[in-house]
Amino acid sequence: MTSRPLIGVTVSRKSGWRVFPLMKLAIWLAGGRALRWQAGYRTVDLDAVDGVVIGGGDDIAPTLYGGELRVGVRLDPARDALEQSVLRGAFDRGLPILGICRGSQMLNVVLGGTLHQDAYEVYQGSRYVRTVLPRKRVLIEGESLLSRSAKASCIYVNALHSQAVDVLGQGLRVAARDEGGMVQAIERMSDPFALGVQWHPEHLVYRRAHRRLFRSLVAAARAERSAGGDAQLDAARQEAREDDARRERLWG
């Protein structure tokens, strides 16, 4: 078995062809391998991977969190269904999760949270920038998973989103906000690893703080795989002991 954990990555059917190579590079630099998942492209096998990235792209259908249907919003119901299934399966298996932009929002929605459909209308003090360059300042909560992962208390990020987390999902907390108060990162309050960031670190791998997010995911995936391997070894040993005991009873 290769020493590099395998990370399943969900992407948009429209933009996945250009986004996935960036994800693949970021995960490879972090010590992992990436597997592309998108609606209609490949059967998802969560038992074959060690971690999950839910990527950015299309808006989430507002019907999933009690929002309003609006004209001109780009939706992908097949992707919504795929990512809901991936996240729930990852929760069941204890797989580490990194949500990116839409992926952070989907992490929140699947755990029962809601979204602001027009976040900049709500947070008018938040600077509206739409760029892949790190032009927006984000303040990170101390003693958070994000602060330990990025090894920073504030970082500059890019911004391509119009939606943001409103009501938090079950078991989540805010890990970062921008200077206007808009939520920019969320995380699970207990293990296993689950972190959602509103920006796109795959475009910022030339900066250490953003590379470290992928490194933390891969490290968590490696630890999870090792724990699973230990559990399988323990189970095999227990089965061998039971076989020995049965033979002893039969043959004395």
Return left, alpha or beta for 8; rule: phi > 0 is left, psi -120 to 50 is alpha, else beta: beta
Classified as helix, coil or strand, 96 is coil
Counting every residue, how long is the chain? 252
Q: What is the distance between the alpha carbons of residues 231 and 57, in angstroms, rounded to a whole number? A: 37
For residue 53, the cross-strand partners are 9, 98
248 given a catalytic annotation: no
The CA-atom distances, in angstroms, between 84 and each of 87, 91, 97, 221 are 5, 11, 13, 20
> β-strands 131-140, 154-159: how paired?
antiparallel
As to burial, measured by CB atoms within 10 angstroms (0-12 exposed, 13-18 middle, 19+ buried), residue 65 is buried
101 given a catalytic annotation: yes
Among 116, 161, 200, 203, the one annotated catalytic? 200
The CA-atom distances, in angstroms, between 182 and each of 11, 166, 176, 231, 245 are 25, 9, 9, 42, 61
Among 83, 116, 187, 202, the one annotated catalytic? 202
203 given a catalytic annotation: no
Q: What is the distance between the alpha carbons of residues 141 and 185, in angstroms, rounded to a whole number? A: 10
Chain CA centroid to CA 42, Å: 19
Residues assigned a catalytic role: 101, 200, 202
